[in-house]
Structure 1
Amino acid sequence: MPRFVLDERVKHALIALAIALAAGFLTLMRPVDVFGWLVQAKLFDREASGEFVYVRMPFATGDAAKNNREVLSTIEALHASGAERIFVNVPLQTSESQETDARLRAFLAANADDIYLTSSSEQDYKDSDRIPPTDPYFTQASKVYSSDYDADFLRFVWGFSRSEEPTKENLVPLSFALANIGPDRDDVFIDYTIGASTIPTISSASRETDLSRLGPAGKSFILGTDSFGANIRAPGADTVSPTAIHILAAESLMRGTGYSLPWYVITMTLGIALALGVRFLRTTRRRRFAYLAWCSLGLALFFATAFFGMRAFFADGLLLAVSYAIMRCVAGYRRRHLTIDPLTRLPNFTALKSDLSDGKAGGSSCLVIAKVARLDALFVGLGSAERRTYLREICNRLSLGDQARTVYYDGGKYFAFLCDSGDIPDLQGHLEGLRAVASQPVRLTGRCLDVSVTIGADGLADHPIEQRLSSATAAADQAREAYKPVFIVGHDKDDWDHSLTAKLTQALAEDQIGIKLQPQVDLGSGAFVGAEVLARWRDSDGVDVPPSSFILQCERMGHLDSLTRRIFQKSFAAVDAIGREGLIPEVAINVSAVQLVDDRIVQIAQEALHDHRIDPALVKIELTETARIEDFRVARGVVDRLKEFGFKLSLDDFGVGSANYEAWFELPFDEVKIDRRFVAAIHHSPRARAIAAGIIHSAREEGIVVLGEGIEDRATYDLLASMGCTQGQGYYISRPLCLAEYIAILRREREMTLSRRDNG
């Protein structure tokens, strides 16, 4: 069953959704929602039903008696004309004219089933503009409804709500009374697609003429005044009376519109749709179609809610879209500038690690590294355009047979790609064929440039990303163009010891790898001159693991620097311990040539020197595998920095590998070590003896030390000494010793020397 993986786009969609939901919860985007509602109000033009007629009363004056007489005459005329219901949305106050007040009160009481009053029950409510309440003198026998309203910061009123159990202090809003809606609706969002200007309106001053024009039968009349709430606004209108707002709310209730969706519905709908779209539509073309469909969905919902007169919150969804777009833009910028090689425009190894961590590699994926040798020499005299063409051509060749394959370039000499080894019966043959194609010369501006490619691959998909990359890179480095140009880790049983990997990881974590010291002597005097540090590891099963196995394993796992750091620390501690005994403490530490590609080895040596404060002249760094040095300019810079600290440099295993003479020529060695295979054969092989003699002669001509390693008997010892070899080491001289044993033999030598001196 495939593993569900949240790739980058899905993560961004979910983060954007979380941001939008948080903003919605805090109502940060409400001003934008208000603007959206204003736009929705203009999308459709609907007329009022005509069932509710607004009767505009004169502005209230300080003469309460005059106001009451005007109200009384108006409701008497409306009632006489056959009005179905009359609502007095004007605050009634007792006046000095008791007769007028008594007549008005009596008429209201006599027609309590047809004429209704309103009152402001929230005197401290900030948006009711201090509407004075109707005097209880008039309300004792009448039904009373609330004239209050709630305006936003722009003075728009968007709806009304009523409580489940109305009381004298918590009246039913006038809009609900007008619509005569039962308890199934507790709130209404005003559908402003109904134009306020289409509400039938008459004036109390010309009511007879207006009534004859409208016809009062079956209509509800609402008496209102512009004296209060003069700044109330409605979409599409400048200012309106609060009475008109109540009428529009009643129209919405009558139409069955005016519902309000919870604030999170649109946001969740858009967020989930976006996450699902980018999760299951993986190609660029399909994703673009998904983005277009997603935007269309948002617009469709915007128009649909406007058409049905529903209040919905789109600002949080807009924030979701903006947040997602910003994150994708940032990711695109990072991908262009941080994960794209500027020369070739190919994704680099940072992008490779990101893609591997996002699970884009399948369970049977094989990570392939193609190493192009001698690039620096080839690129001398080439411009950027020609270099780009050369590298892009190699990339195109590596993509043969799978045009959807992504090829990564590290900016140096390595290309990488993933292939599904499960679909390739003969992976070795497939990669060898691909390498043969990629190794064809590239034509540039009338000339041919050679291509030298070796390939390393790691087929262990269950291993960590860094380990796989280090493993495949090490395999590409180990591959040899003429001998074994394709090297696959995990392809052959002996390439990778799975049990050893876990044990080695534990050993490094618990610092179980120690050192032994193999003494080196002056072949002329036989005196000890130092020792080579050898890494030693006995695993948890009590088995001694050969260094040739676990050091290579460390390199493939990407832990070579970690191992080297431990060896340096232990070696410097040994030098310190030997020096405290007043003995000769010089040691030689092996360092792989692959570690000369940058300053990491310098930092490791500097850290150890800082921790132990020894004389760096007592430490020789033995450079191994010099055939793997490809950029001597960089390697020389690293070596020079090491020598600036005072370290000496030794060329190990000289005579093995085609690059050793070049390494001797390019790097400032203080010592050359004749490889043990020549030392072992100098008795019976004139050729081996000639090679050893040539090395000794060359070293003596340059004035550097030459050391023969692998001396197994006295005859070899004497022959090397007679040939002029300076120093030697091997089992004949001593096996590798622990620190205490090495200090003991140095003490014995010192005592013997002192004894000979004392005896004359």
Structure 2
Amino acid sequence: MSASDVMHHRFKSRELAGKDVVISRTDVDARRFRAPGYSVVPAPLIQIVAAETLLAGSPINLGWLGSFLVAAILSFGVVVRSSRVVAGLLTASGVGTLMLVPLWLEAYQVHLVIVPSLVVLIGARCARAWAEWRNKLRLRSATDPISGLPNLHALMEVGATSPGILVSLRIQNRSQIRASLADQWEKELVEQVVSRLRFGADGSSVYQADDGTFLWMSQAPEGELQHQLDGLYALFRSPAVVGARLLDVQVAFGYDLEAERPLSQRIAGTLAAADEAAREGLRWKCFDPASLEDAEWTMSLLSRLDYALETGQLWVAYQPKLDCVTGVTVGAEALVRWTHPEKGNIFPDQFIGAAERSGRIAELTRFVLEDAVSTASDINSSGRRFSIAVNLSATLLVGDAIVVMVRETIRRLRFPPELLILEITETSTLRSGTEAEDILRELSQIGVQLSIDDYGTGFSTLEYLKRVPASEIKIDRTFISMLHRSQSDRIMVNSTIQLAHSLSRKVVAEGVENAEILDELIWMGCDMVQGYHTARPMPKWALRGFLETSGTEARTKAIV
């Protein structure tokens, strides 16, 4: 109230009744201060507020500890409560209480510090949100996006603490099914597969991997598990109905008993066992830890083969070929052998295919060809006419490298080309096509003889015999071994011999194991034979001794 109004009685008395009056300067020359909520106020106003505060009593400062303890309790609830709704309510109620209670206490001169409490409570809510987000990502990474089933990541998390037999199912024709099945039907197929699996999974969780693979932990004994797998296999013989279509699901099972091995290796072991079962036509197979040694050998096979070529572990064996008319040994087939210092004799079918797939077959063929031609050349130098047969891989019938190799070898060793016989597998030549046939004609023009090996196991046609410039047909041992017992084999072999002779080609029968088979072949007019009955494969030093002692006899007992 202005002092001028008081002096001139321009106020109502009731405005001052019962009140203490403070008289002070508030003009422009009076001291002024900045105050919260105002721009600037006269100094007496601040003094009046201070006096009123003192009259109201001494303020109480509770500090931060009390509110902090309350916030800590609420934060614990926010973090540990499983329900997101409860955690949200605790956070909201805590923040609201910490904001409203201090304002109410201010009216009673009670001061409360709430900043640390708010930090703790909001921090707890942020920590929970971070944990929920990470858990969501973990669940997403541990779940198949199409079927919603737990995947291998989920199995890896629980597998170490889950004892039992690890079992896997492998859908062998999964690629064909996937190629013919629309995306929207894949989930339905998986659901049908899982519904069948649950009949034999003992209620265990089924985990889905890629490429049509499903795994679970079985608690059943091994014998009972095998019966369950037999039942599941029979169940999967019924087609799955997906989108009004019938789909045959071809499956195989594998399981692993070695619980002490790392889970990742156990998973790989069950899948390997399932694949082996499929290849062998079995319903299921148990993983054999002893196969790990074989797997290590297989993975390093090519490098070991290179080393074997360099160190002389590879050598050439020779199986003599007997002339059925004269009873004289007129030639031999060169067969590569591998004697490993630790594993002993390695069968050719264990490394020949790997050499073909890796591009090492050319060096292997060169090694055999050099040794074979050199050995035959030494035998011929003694005045004996002796032919040598070398197997030729169809993978070499591309380009002119094999033609150059053969030409250079026989030229350098001065070996008559007509005494070198190159044996080509019948089915391989058919698959190789026109280029292979051109290369075979080039080899024939050099003077080398060509032989159709394993005749009868491929696509035998008159056109094929006419197309390939072979001078010899070699009947496969599968038709020879039962010749004395099987009428159908006898008819097929006899007709093949007559057909070859009508085309002016010689016939060699391989796999002659006894005199009875030899008699049959001689009666049919077969030209040459080879097999354990006449002579087993032998090193070249033994071949020379064989030729000196028994290889020149005019007749064997069987011929007589």
2:390 alignment counterpart: 586
How high is the TM-score relative to the length of structure 1?
A: 0.40
Q: Secondary structure at the match of 1:476?
A: helix
Once residues 363 and 672 of structure 1 are traced to their aligned partners in structure 2, the CA distance between those partners, rounded to angstroms, is: 60
Which one of the candidate residues 493, 505, 521 is aligned to 2:296?
505
Report the alpha carbon displacement of residue 726 of structure 1 after superposing the two structures with TM: 7.7
Confirm or deny: 8 A CA contact 2:229 2:253 kept in the other structure: no
- Equivalent positions of 1:159-174 (< 5 A) are none
What residue number does 2:385 align with? none
Q: Is the 8 A contact 2:204 2:217 kept in 1?
A: no
What is the CA–CA distance in structure 1 between the aligned matches of 2:189 and 2:503, rounded to whole Å?
41
Question: 1:208 corresponds to which residue?
Answer: 44
The correspondence for 1:434, drawn from 217, 232, 248, is 232
Deviations 1:280-336 (A, max 9, x none): xxxxxxxxx969489859957994997641146959959956984896598489x54
Residues 579 and 457 (structure 1), Cα distance of their counterparts in 2 relative to 1, 3 Å cut: same
CA distance in 1, matches of 2:336, 2:62: 94
Q: Matched residues in 2 for 1:379 and 1:433: separation?
A: 25
The within-5 A match list for 1:398-547 is 398-402=197-201, 405-406=205-206, 408=208, 415-420=213-218, 422-423=220-221, 425-442=223-240, 449=246, 451=248, 453=250, 455-461=252-258, 462=261, 463=265, 465-479=267-281, 485-490=282-287, 496=288, 498-499=289-290, 501-502=292-293, 505=296, 509=300, 511=304, 517=316, 519=318, 528=331, 530-533=333-336, 539=342, 544=344, 547=347
Contact 1:369 1:455 in 2 (8 A): yes
Contact 2:513/2:531 (<8 A) preserved: yes
Q: Which residue of 1 aligns with 2:63?
A: 255
Match of residue 483, structure 2, among 652, 658, 682: 682
Q: Secondary structure at the match of 2:48?
A: helix
Which sits farther off after the overlay, 642-651 or 504-513?
A: 642-651
Q: Partners in 1 of 2:371 and 2:93 — Cα distance?
A: 82
Query: In structure 1, the residue corresponding to 2:159 is in which secondary structure?
Result: coil
Q: How far apart, in 1, do the equivalents of 2:88 and 2:355 lie?
A: 55
CA drift at 1:518? 5.0
Shift of 1:469: 1.8
Structure 1 residue 431, shift from structure 2 partner: 1.2
**Distance (whole Å) between structure 2 residues aligned to residue 391 and residue 702 of structure 1:** 58
Q: CA RMSD in A?
A: 6.8
- The residue aligned with 1:364 is 164
Give deviations 1:713-760, integer Å, cap 9, x for gaps. 56645744664768754334553456x769x869x99xx9xxxxxxxx
Q: What's the offset of the Cα at 1:215?
A: 1.3
Supply the AA of the counterpart residue of 1:215.
Answer: A
Report percent identity of matched pairs: 16
Check conservation: 2:314, 2:339, Cα contact below 8 A. Answer: yes
Q: CA deviation at 1:489?
A: 2.6
Distance 1:459 1:465, change over 3 A: closer
* Contact map agreement 1:672 1:707 (CA 8 A) in 2: yes
Matches within 5 A, 1:614-629: none
Is the Cα–Cα contact under 8 Å of residues 192 and 240 in structure 2 kept in the other structure? yes
Letter in 2 for 1:255: G
Post-superposition shift, 1:652?
6.0
CA–CA distance in structure 1, aligned partners of residues 271 and 191 of structure 2? 22
How far does residue 259 in structure 1 lie from its aligned partner after superposition?
Answer: 11
Q: What is the TM-score normalised by the length of structure 2? A: 0.51
Change (3 A) 1:680 1:582: closer
Name the CA distance, whole Å, in 1 between partners of 2:166 and 2:435: 38
Change (3 A) 1:567 1:391: farther
Using the TM superposition, give the Cα deviation of residue 586 of structure 1 relative to its aligned residue in structure 2, in angstroms.
3.0
Amino acid at match of 1:571: L
SS at match of 1:439: coil
Q: Distance in 2 between matches of 1:673 and 1:252?
A: 113
Distance 1:321 1:736 in 2: 72
Give the aligned residue type for 2:231. Answer: G
Superposed, 1:30-49 pairs within 5 Å as none
Q: Cα deviation per residue 1:25-52 (whole Å; 9 max; x = unaligned)?
A: xxxxxxxxxxxxxxxxxxxxxxxxxxxx
1:439 Cα deviation after fit? 0.9
- Where do 5+ consecutive residues of structure 2 fail to align? 1-26, 100-113, 377-387, 408-420, 441-449, 552-560
Number of residue pairs the alignment of both structures matches: 431
Q: CA deviation at 1:473?
A: 0.5
SS at match of 2:168: strand
Residue 115 of structure 2 aligns to which amino acid in structure 1?
Answer: G
Contact 1:708–1:728 under 8 Å retained in 2: yes
For residues 374 and 703 of structure 1, do their structure 2 counterparts lie closer, same or farther at Cα, with a shift above 3 Å needed? farther
1:571 has 2:368 as partner: no
Counterparts of 1:74 and 1:374 in 2: how far apart (Å)?
88
- Within a 5 Å distance, the mapping from 1:60-71 to structure 2 comes to none
Give the one of 501, 505, 511 matched to 1:710. 511
Structure 1 counterpart of 2:115? 309
Matched with 1:13 is: none
- CA spacing shift, 1:446–1:215, aligned 2, 3 Å: closer
CA, structure 1 residues 506+703, in 2 after alignment: closer, same or farther (shift >3 Å)? same
The structure 2 residue matched to 1:396, chosen from 171, 195, 215, is 195
> Which AA in structure 2 matches 1:438?
F
Q: Distance in 2 between matches of 1:705 and 1:295?
A: 92
User: What secondary structure is seen at the aligned counterpart in 1 of 2:304?
Assistant: coil
Deviation per residue, 1:403-427 (Å, 9 max, x gap): 654365765xx65433415456422
Show the 5 A alignment for 1:213-232: 213-215=49-51, 218=54
Maintained 8 Å contact 2:270/2:286: no
Please state how far the C-alpha of 1:429 moved relative to its aligned partner. Answer: 1.6
Task: Please list, as runs of the form range in 1=range in 2, the aligned pairs for 1:696-707 lying within 5 A after superposition.
Answer: none
Following the alignment from structure 2 to structure 1, what is the Cα–Cα distance between the partners of residues 452 and 345? Answer: 26
Distance of 1:530 and 1:364 partners within structure 2:
54
- The Cα offsets for residues 178-213 of structure 1, whole Å up to 9 and x where unpaired, read as xxxxxxxxxxxxxxxxxx957xx795x622244234
Q: Which amino acid aligns with 2:391?
A: V
CA distance in 2, matches of 1:259, 1:681: 98
Tell me the CA shift for residue 346 of structure 1.
8.7
Deviation of 1:434 (Å): 1.2
Q: Any idea what the Cα deviations from partners look like across 1:395-453, whole Å, max 9, x if unmatched? A: 53234344654365765xx6543341545642222111111121124567888x58474
Separation (CA, whole Å) in 1 of partners of 2:453 and 2:94: 76
1:85-484 equivalences under 5 Å are 197=36, 203=40, 206-215=42-51, 218=54, 255-256=63-64, 292=84, 296=88, 303=95, 308-310=114-116, 311=119, 324=134, 331=141, 336=145, 360=159, 362-370=162-170, 393-394=192-193, 396-402=195-201, 405-406=205-206, 408=208, 415-420=213-218, 422-423=220-221, 425-442=223-240, 449=246, 451=248, 453=250, 455-461=252-258, 462=261, 463=265, 465-479=267-281
